[in-house]
Amino acid sequence: MIRPLVTLVTGGAGFIGSALVRHLVRRGDRLVVSLDALTYAGNLDSLGEVADSPRHVFVRADVADADAVRQVFAKWQPNEVYHLAAESHVDRSIDAPGEFIRTNVVGTFVMLQEAMRHYERLALEARETFRFLHVSTDEVFGSLGAEGVFTRETPYDPSSPYSASKAGSDHLARAWHRTYGLPVLVTNCSNNYGPCQFPEKLIPLMILNGLEEKPLPVYGAGTNVRDWLYVDDHVAALAVVMGRGTLGRTYLVGGGAERTNLEVVEELCALLDARLGRAGTTVTRRLITFVADRPGHDFRYAIDSGALRTELGWNPAETFESGLARTVDWYLANRAWWERVRSGAYRGERLGLRASA
């Protein structure tokens, strides 16, 4: 009897994790087990499309809880693991760095330990196909100047508690491959955007504030630059890396869409004016408000994803313009989703202003 393919996705109710779960379930060739602790950014509504699918199982558990993680491995016997569970918002990491160390560093350690325990008990044939993909961020590389791009040879130089915790988790993942032989792959991605993103992040916050005619806070002069990646393009890349990537390698995933923060906000304003039928072309733009910059705010990120494109054949399907339009349309069409999110603890307030530890 051929054992069905089982995929474990940690952080499966988060923004990128839920997009990955939806993508994998649509493929129809596996059982997808999504694990999530359902902290403030975890949202079962984001899994609504697959909630009743016989090919999906949700498990509420914390990646830092070794007993719970061990039980998941023992019960479901996954063939592959996508590890996305993480605290991810830079501003929150400034206010509460301990939560980031616990989830991102300790949680990754637990996942690697339990994956290794599971791997060592597999039959030889199953070992040959087992994979552990650790999903990370370009923020581990620090800040670029006006020129250049991040490559997988770029030295780590994290600036925030968030990026430092992710840098630590990256090093752990590579160490478990080199020391213990766990079949690990690592990806580092640029800034994601798209449906189901928690509204503390730049793009959804600007959409919702613009919709409600509230101020649109832009840090500093708005000149910080990010490379933007549509979330569905990112999860498609993750599936390609899992399926065809070389063990022990790091793959960088970027959208090739550099924009200043101010350019992003201005483009969102134009889209909202057009979608909402607001008179003129700069109605929403008047809401832009420049605020004090974030402490340790990296100036620019840009990713060289050439290896992923040439070696594995991945290319983003969305341009920044098409992806941003799809994102605005999704938030306008899914008011119930974000109203439920905003009915909780987060109300769109400024985070990351803590002056001292």
80 is catalytic: no
Residue 139 annotated among the catalytic residues of the structure? yes
Mark whether 180 is an active-site residue: no
From the candidates 36, 62, 114, 138, give the one annotated as an active-site residue: 138
| Total H helices, total E strands in the chain | 13, 12
Spatial separation of the C-alpha atoms in residues 125 and 127, rounded to whole Å? 5
Q: Exactly one of 162, 193, 230, 301 is catalytic; which is it?
A: 162
CA distance 28 to 7: 12
Q: How far apart are CA 9 and CA 319, in angstroms?
A: 27
CB within 8 Å of 217: residues ≥ 6 apart: 209, 289, 290, 291, 350
Position of tokens 């009743």?
52
Q: Give the integer Cα–Cα distance in Å for 106 and 124.
A: 29
According to DSSP H, which parts of the chain are helical? Answer: 15-27, 66-76, 90-95, 97-100, 107-120, 124-129, 161-180, 202-211, 231-244, 261-276, 306-312, 320-333, 335-342
Measured CA to CA, the distance from residue 138 to residue 134 in angstroms comes to 13
* 339 neighbors 185 (Cβ within 8 angstroms): no
| Residue among 62, 114, 139, 233 flagged as catalytic | 139
Query: Annotated catalytic sites, by residue?
Result: 138-139, 162
